[in-house]
Amino acid sequence: MADFNGDGRLDFVVLTLGAPAELWENESRPDGHWLIVRLVGTKTNRDGIGARVLVGGQVRTMTTAMGYASSSHAGLHFGLGAVSAPVRVEIQWPSGTRQVVEDVNVNQVIEVKEK
């Protein structure tokens, strides 16, 4: 699962044994706002695996494991609904570092490098 075309909606790649991969593009109407946070670790692991990211009242933990025999590695997706104002992003890195990024515009992919 990832936002393969950069439109803020999650798409899926589906594999079936003995068949070619299929990309299932999410073509639903974009009703709400969104933010994707990609992490770059410097003190901890490169991909920020294990970091907890808070945006508004939502919390996501960076992982590549997304269920049985599947994975996802395209950043953390936050659906923000009607929130169109800039948001605050808080990251708790596995190293223990707490990092805050203020006034982040919505409807974009941001990359945050561990300080």
**What tens digit of pLDDT does each residue of 68-107 get?**
666 666 689 999 999 999 999 999 999 999 999 999 999 9
Domain annotation covers residue 6: no
Domain annotation covers residue 68: yes
**What tens digit of pLDDT does each residue of 5-17 get?**
888 888 888 888 8
Domain annotation covers residue 4: no
Work out how many domains the chain is built from and give that number. Answer: 1
Residues ≥6 apart with Cβ < 8 Å to 49: 41, 62, 63, 64, 94
Residue 66's pLDDT is 66
Q: What is the Cα–Cα distance from 88 to 26, expressed in whole angstroms?
A: 27
Domain annotation covers residue 109: yes
Are 112 and 91 in contact by the 8 Å Cβ rule? The answer is yes
The pTM assigned to this predicted structure is 0.81
Domain annotation covers residue 1: no
**What tens digit of pLDDT does each residue of 30-63 get?**
788 999 999 999 998 999 999 999 999 999 999 8
Domain annotation covers residue 12: no
Domain annotation covers residue 84: yes
- What is the distance of C-alpha 112 from the center of its chain? 11
Q: What is the Cα–Cα distance from 67 to 29, expressed in whole angstroms?
A: 27
DSSP tally for the chain: helices H, then strands E: 0, 9
Give the domain extent around 36: 30-113
Q: What is the Cα–Cα distance from 15 to 9, expressed in whole angstroms?
A: 20
Residue 28's pLDDT is 84
